[in-house]
Structure 1
């Protein structure tokens, strides 16, 4: 099992973690956000932690899934950060959401590198890449930066607009945006006989499509993975499955991939982890990926 961290992300660092929170720097701003897996003690005392803050997310007691941001006067509600790795140059517009998110999952940077490298190595003239549950598009724009034809699927129109901003900020064009339930879209693509050289899935534990379709990961993950197997081009491909759902393990990802795709080449299974400045490692997602490139 491999442990991957965002080693080249100059505009991001996790300063400290603990007491179910994390202290992070995104560009010039330092944020405190809830983190249920930071079960240890923080290194910094409360006074020092709070003195560094530009913004802190405070959960709503009536609805713990939402909350409000407490801001200092110097804090902006929107700002940009950059990510550079070899020839990959991306820019992201960040913002403070009512769900504690800022529009970016920095631990995904190793997957952006992987996508860019795999697309760049392909002999196919214009590789086709499908990004499902694509959120604000870090994976999509990494694939597009390498020259892929990208289909970006998400069920939330506002999130698609955010992803478009990130594409434009990265000086890229021509991603195909699809506002639709991912499972419904994949079923239709299978019927059409379409094939993709790259497939990326980053499904939530629970969600809803634009027409009220329910996504429950325990009920639908196996189905969508089997459908994606029919979409993956056998000649030249890469594949990434990333899961944030607490309760799933890397062993589940490995078993699913072997059961559906067989003995694939260059399979990697592991965790995406961010290490704070005091060397405490915070696991944030599990992944499985493979490629015949």
Structure 2
């Protein structure tokens, strides 16, 4: 098992997890500091509430009528939207960030190591496959898609929410990339059609939510639907030159469950890495942010 800390302030100058606790996290994205809910930060904050209030340019407050939605209290100098850059290895990406009613801002910083993993694996595959094909499912605003495209892959980006795909397209433009294939569709339906067509991909990336709806109201429940989706993905994955990444954010979903699933579906995979996604705040508290499993045909 490989527990990997996927990103630290030292490796991404434009992001910092400053503090966490009391079910919140204090983060710096570029020039702005945000305070957001974080259900797994059950310990005490290291900084005082007054210090959090002094530092934060925007603080998310949940709507009492909704467990998911809320609004942001902002300082006069807070910009919305704003932009951050990511440079690491051969990657040079730019993202638009914005304050949404669901507390998200447009990127998940803990995924940065996966972006470099994708970039490196595509470069390795490209020695034998001139234009590797990559499929990104539940692809959100496209960090993984941008990393794959910048490495030279032929990228198909699938998400059920049209405004999110528009956001991802903006990130592609800001990163000075082009020719990503955008698909507004239910991930399960799309994968099944691709299997019937006999298509293959050199890389597959999954970032499924605990619950979701497709564009035509299709219901997604992680515990009920993941096993079958993985089986279809196994039919799509190239047998010679390949990589595979899955991330899960459902509370209480163990990495052992992923290990069991991947062993049954994919068999004896090469170079597996699996464990918890986590980040350290400035006071060395480790904040868990889900579980992951990834493997590749080359180291």
TM-score by length of 1: 0.99
Counterpart of 2:7? 6
Find 1:71's aligned residue among 68, 74, 77. Answer: 74
Partner residue, 2:162? 157
Query: Post-superposition shift, 1:86?
Result: 1.2
Which residue of the other structure, out of 251, 257, 261, is the alignment partner of 1:256?
A: 261
Partner of 2:171: 166
Residue 192 of structure 2 is matched in structure 1 by: 187
Alignment of 1:199-238 (within 5 A): 199-238=204-243
- The alignment of Structure 1 onto Structure 2 pairs a total of residues equal to 293
Structure-1 residue corresponding to 2:137: 132
Per the TM alignment, residue 5 of structure 1 is displaced from its structure 2 partner at its CA by 2.6
1:109-128 mapped onto 2 (5 Å cutoff): 109-122=112-125, 123-128=128-133
How far residue 64 of structure 1 moved from its aligned partner, in angstroms, is 1.8
Q: Map Cα deviations across residues 191-216 of structure 1 (whole Å, 9 max, x no partner).
A: 00000000000000000000000000
1:212 is paired with a residue whose SS is: coil
The counterpart of 1:239, out of the listed 238, 244, 257, is 244
The corresponding residue for 2:147 is 142
Residue aligning to 1:41: 44
Match of 1:93 in 2: 96
- Residue 3 of structure 1 deviates from its aligned partner by 2.3
5+ residue gaps, structure 1, are none
Which runs of 5 or more structure 2 residues have no equivalent in the other structure? Answer: none
Distance across 1 between alignment mates of 2:243 and 2:258: 16
Q: CA RMSD in A?
A: 0.6
What corresponds to 2:279 in structure 1? 274
Pairwise CA distance, 1:228: 0.3
Give how far 1:77 is off: 1.3
State how far apart, in whole Å, the 2-side matches of 1:268 and 1:53 are: 36
SS at match of 2:250: coil
- Alpha-carbon distance between aligned partners in 2 of 1:58 and 1:156, rounded to the nearest angstrom: 24
Q: Please state if 1:284 is matched with 2:289.
A: yes
Query: Structure 1 runs of 4+ off > 6 angstroms?
Result: none
CA contact (8 A) 1:155 1:210 kept: yes
C-alpha distance in structure 2 between counterparts of 1:101 and 1:241, whole Å: 20
Query: Could you tell me whether the CA contact under 8 Å between 1:132 and 1:153 is conserved in 2?
Result: yes
2:31 corresponds to: 28
Secondary structure of the 2:209 match is: coil
**Aligned mates of 2:251, 2:51 — CA distance in 1:** 31
Matches of 1:169 and 1:197, distance apart in 2:
26
Distance 1:214 1:64 in 2: 19
Tell me which residue corresponds to 2:201.
196
